[in-house]
């Protein structure tokens, strides 16, 4: 399966969408920008690019992106499913996500599953915060704050 890379500019940097006809394989954070492919992107990549542009412009709140299968543990898949249920403009703590996947003591493991999420923004790991503040984010605190601010959630 040959993958295609398309880049999306945002106020916090360029996000690289990698995918094929089978779906979006990965969305790379701004510090991990990849060189864009030449030619027309496969439909799942083109859809993801358009929807991310709409998200950054403030006109999209939910995503309908075809995601490629990802090798992951059952727990990671459960966490990613729980993340997709967090509505735009809302946050959940790591503990709340752990409870949602019936693993109430697994809040640190939720953080690890978030870090392994191959589709940031589309699977909104940025909406998970710690019980006493912002929490971590692979793209850095400034990117996480920007994404939350865009959705109307403000953290100092």
- Report, as residue numbers or ranges, the catalytic residues: 125
Q: How many other C-beta atoms are found inside a 10 Å radius of the C-beta of residue 57?
A: 10
As a whole number of angstroms, the distance between CA 153 and CA 43 comes to 32
Contact by Cβ (8 Å): 6, 41:
yes
Contact by Cβ (8 Å): 100, 92:
yes
As a whole number of angstroms, the distance between CA 31 and CA 133 comes to 23
As a whole number of angstroms, the distance between CA 31 and CA 108 comes to 24
If phi over 0 gives left and psi between -120 and 50 gives alpha, with beta otherwise, what is residue 93? Answer: beta
> Residue 71: CB partners within 8 Å, gap ≥ 6?
none
As a whole number of angstroms, the distance between CA 56 and CA 21 comes to 24
């Amino acid at each position: 399966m040959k993958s295609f890379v398309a880049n999306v500019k945002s106020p916090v940097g360029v996000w690289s969408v990698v995918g094929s006809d089978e779906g979006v394989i990965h969305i790379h954070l701004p510090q991990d920008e990849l060189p864009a492919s030449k030619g027309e992107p496969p439909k799942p990549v083109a859809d993801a690019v358009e929807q991310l542009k709409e998200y950054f412009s403030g006109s999209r709140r939910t995503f309908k992106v075809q995601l490629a299968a990802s090798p992951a543990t059952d727990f990671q898949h459960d966490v990613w499913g729980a993340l997709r249920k967090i509505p735009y403009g809302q946050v959940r703590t790591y503990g709340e996500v752990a409870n949602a996947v019936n693993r109430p003591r697994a809040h640190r493991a939720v953080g690890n599953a978030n870090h392994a999420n191959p589709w940031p923004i589309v699977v909104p790991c940025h909406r998970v915060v710690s019980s006493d503040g912002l929490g971590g984010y692979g793209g850095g605190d400034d990117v996480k704050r920007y994404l939350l601010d865009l959705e109307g959630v403000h953290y100092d």
